[in-house]
Amino acid sequence: MELKNTFEVAATRKSSWDFLLDPERVTPCIPGAELVKIDDDGTWHVKAKVKLGPVTMNYKGKVNIVEKDEGAFGVVMKGSGTETKGKGTVKADIVSELHETDGGGTRAEITSTVKIAGKAAQFGRGMIGDVAGRFTQEFAEAMEHALAEDASSEAAEAAEKAAEAAKKAADEAKKALEQQKREEAEAEAAEKEAEAKAAKASEAKAPAKDAAAKSEVNDETLTELRDLLERGEKAAKKAESAARRAEAEAKRAEAEAARADAACKRAEAAAKKMELLAKERKETKEVSGFGIAFWAIGRAISRFFRGIFGGGDKELPDGRK
């Protein structure tokens, strides 16, 4: 027969996956199951007590992981068992798939193909399905409880480690502070000792100290003179460089002034030329105007006299009358 069961736990898919593949953690969560041993090849040896109606049966068997897909969080297991007091047997192929829920939990979908022989086979599919559903629910509750305890234990262990690390850091800081104080005290003592030795040496070598002081003064004076001479040479070089730059600037300014003067002269000549042209045009207009005026007056007088003496209009050689 084929049985399908689903349950959800409030744990991540990765933690649920690790839990389901750990026989020492998962077996105690199965109602009536007990882990006997684990072989080197990974086979689980278990005992199980199953109650179907008024009948209770005890089985011993083994479980093997046939296929495992860590990327898809899917696993195929094969189990088999026999009654400890009887001839009944059970075989099951179990396919489990883990899916992440919207809330960050895990939904497990389990499909089991079960073959039962013996007293358990007398019970119908309905009763066996009901028992499998109840087992699944109890297993889910136990698994969720175990995962919560694991999380609490991990949190407590992490907190304990953090406290130990903090204590260790505090102890080391305290030791470092004490070491620093010792080093400061030693340094202060060494400084005082050096000052005392220096004072004694100064008292013992007072005459030599005076001579050395004079020599030191002379050396300092010579050093100061050298520094002044070097600074003077540097200043002279800077002044010479500045003078050269100023001379070059003056030459450029002189050339610009010459170009400006030439431009002014060209502009002045152009202005005079324009003035002459304007004057000539004005005179030309005036002469033209006077010629036209005299011609008009002469023509009018001529017509006047012809009108008086009856000469009439005669056509002139150029076509005028």
- Helix/strand/coil (H/E/C) assignment for every residue in 163-203: HHHHHHHHHHHHHHHHHHHHHHHHHHHHHHHHHHHHHHHHH
CA atoms within 13 A on the CB side of 206: 4
Mean pLDDT calculated for residue range 45-53: 83
- Report, in angstroms and rounded to the nearest whole number, the Rg of the chain calculated over CA atoms: 62
CB 89, CB 109: distance < 8 Å: no
In DSSP notation, 273-311 reads: HHHHHHHHHHHHHHHHHHHHHHHHHHHHHHHHHHHHHT-
Burial 115-126 (b: 16+ CB within 10 A, else e): ebeeebeeeeee
Is the pLDDT assigned to residue 1 strictly greater than 60?
yes
The H or E element that residue 35 is part of is strand 33-38
Mean pLDDT calculated for residue range 18-39: 87
**Higher pLDDT pick, 100 / 310:** 100
Return the closest-CA partner of residue 44 out of 26, 62, 19, 56: 62
Return the closest-CA partner of residue 9 out of 138, 155, 152: 138
* Residue type at position 267: A
Give the other-Cβ count within 10 Å of 306's Cβ.
Answer: 14
pLDDT at site 304: 64
Q: What are phi and psi of 18, to 5 degrees?
A: -60, -35
pLDDT band at 99 (very low <50, low <70, confident <90, very high): very high
Angle 152-154-156 from CA coordinates, rounded to 5°? 65
pTM for the model stands at 0.47
Between 27-31, 79-83, 122-126, the lowest mean confidence (pLDDT) is in 122-126
Give residue-wise pLDDT tens across range 273-306. 556 655 665 665 555 555 566 666 766 676 766 6
Is the pLDDT assigned to residue 108 strictly greater than 60?
yes
Burial 132-147 (b: 16+ CB within 10 A, else e): beebbeebbeebbebb
pLDDT at site 171: 80
pLDDT at site 290: 56
Cα(263)–Cα(269) distance, rounded to whole angstroms? 10
3-state helix, strand, coil in the chain (%, to 5): 65, 20, 15
Structure token digits, residue 94: 């179990």
Residues near 74 by Cβ (< 8 Å), separated by ≥ 6?
A: 67, 68, 95, 96, 97, 98
Give residue-wise pLDDT tens across range 164-185. 887 887 788 788 878 878 877 8
CB 105, CB 14: distance < 8 Å: no
Cα(269)–Cα(272) distance, rounded to whole angstroms? 5
Provide the residue count of the chain.
Answer: 321
Give the other-Cβ count within 10 Å of 128's Cβ.
Answer: 18
Between 19-23, 105-109, 209-213, the lowest mean confidence (pLDDT) is in 209-213
Give residue-wise pLDDT tens across range 136-167. 778 778 888 888 887 777 777 777 887 888 78
pLDDT at site 235: 65
- Report DSSP state, residue 12: -
pLDDT at site 228: 63
Give residue-wise pLDDT tens across range 196-235. 777 776 666 555 455 555 556 566 666 766 776 677 677 6
Burial class (CB in 10 A: 0-12, 13-18, 19+), 256: exposed
pLDDT at site 100: 92
**Percentage of the residues of the chain whose pLDDT score is greater than 70:** 71
